[in-house]
Amino acid sequence: MSFADPTTLPDDLIKDGSDAGFMTDVIEASKAQPVLVDFWATWCGPCRTLTPMIEKAVRAAGGAVKLVKIDVDKNPAYAGQLKVQSIPTVYAFVNGQPVDGFQGAVPDSQLRAFIDKLTGGESARSDIEQMMSMGEESLSLNDLGGAAQAFAQVLTLEPAHERAIAGMARVYLADGDVDQARQTVAMAPQDSKDATVQSVRAQLALLSSAPASAGDELQARVAADPNDHQARYDLSLAQAASGDLKGAVDSLLTIVSADREWNEQAARKQLLVVFEAAGAGSDVARDGRRRLSSILFA
């Protein structure tokens, strides 16, 4: 199944400007919507910090505001007219006139507030949350097309939205496209702390560790020898890979209860991966953690 491209953005949302194009790109364009002008230079350290932040915030505003970046070394005319004395300097233009601005690198929260003041961005964020809720509901109903559309709309407005990235990856996982799920979740930062991103990565880890033996064969080995911890551990991997996370937890807890130190505590470590894949707030994780604590602290 193919889903909407989540990274589509208007071509002229962010552009490199010039003195020659200032009237068109800034003055005239600001009569239709606010335009931010980022005055910067290649030698400016704070500019290298601020500019990516502005680009991210402009994308998150979903087309409600545009960004024009002006290199003051190459294009000094309008920087001079606007009395830009230090960089980075950012001006907001509305209806052909500069209406607000700031100098220096500012925190992300201040930058968002600056854009919100121009665009009413609080309503845009409300729309994003509404679309996220629609995506989650569609996914819970196995409406993969509806879920993909909702998450893709969020990513069109905010390409770095980590929960939406994870949502798209979950859609691909539900559709059986593991490779696309892995590519999609890779869009999130490697050190992401988002619980849904971590859950998807844990699910992918479980899939990649599935044993070669079939579940029925492993069940038979465990039935023949309940003390065969390796067979039971392999069974837990097969159960997790097939989506039976509760079964995987039961198998792993049986090993921990019998021998918590087996194979350098492999069963306990694998339980943590399963809990993460299930989601910290899931019944599987909550019940599993409670049972694990009972075993460890009995």
Q: pLDDT tens digits, residue range 153-203?
A: 888 777 888 999 999 999 999 999 999 999 999 999 999 989 999 999 999
pLDDT of residue 120: 65
Dist. CA 138–CA 10, nearest whole Å:
27
Element (DSSP H or E) covering residue 70: strand 66-71
pLDDT at 268: 95
Q: How confident is the model at residue 125 (pLDDT cuts 50, 70, 90)?
A: low
Question: Residue 22 and residue 37: Cα distance in Å, rounded?
Answer: 10
CA distance linking residue 286 with residue 294, whole number of Å: 12
Summarize pLDDT for 251-285 with one digit per residue, the tens.
Answer: 999 999 999 999 999 999 999 999 999 988 899 99
Q: Measuring CA to CA, how many Å separate 44 from each of 89, 143, 229? A: 11, 49, 60
- Determine contact, residues 240/277, Cβ cutoff 8 Å: yes
In the predicted model, is pLDDT for residue 227 greater than 60? yes
Rounded CA separation 66/59 (Å): 9
- What is the model's pLDDT at position 59? 86
CB 237 within 8 A of CB 210: yes
- Does the pLDDT at position 298 exceed 90? no
Residue 18 CB-density burial (10 A; 0-12 exposed, 13-18 middle, 19+ buried):
middle
Whether the pTM exceeds 0.75: the reply is: no
Confidence (pLDDT) at 121 = 56
Q: What is the pLDDT of residue 281?
A: 86
The answer to whether residue 231 scores a pLDDT higher than 80 is: yes
Rounded-to-integer distance, Cα 19 and Cα 29, Å: 15
The pLDDT of residue 10: 57
CA atoms of 126 and 161, how far apart (whole Å): 14
State the catalytic residues: 44, 47
Residue 126: predicted pLDDT: 67
Whole-number Å distance between alpha carbons of 144 and 151: 10
**Half-sphere exposure of residue 209, counting CA atoms within 13 Å on the CB side?**
17
Residue 114 in this model has a pLDDT that exceeds 90: no
Q: At 60, is the pLDDT very low, low, confident or very high (cuts 50, 70, 90)?
A: confident
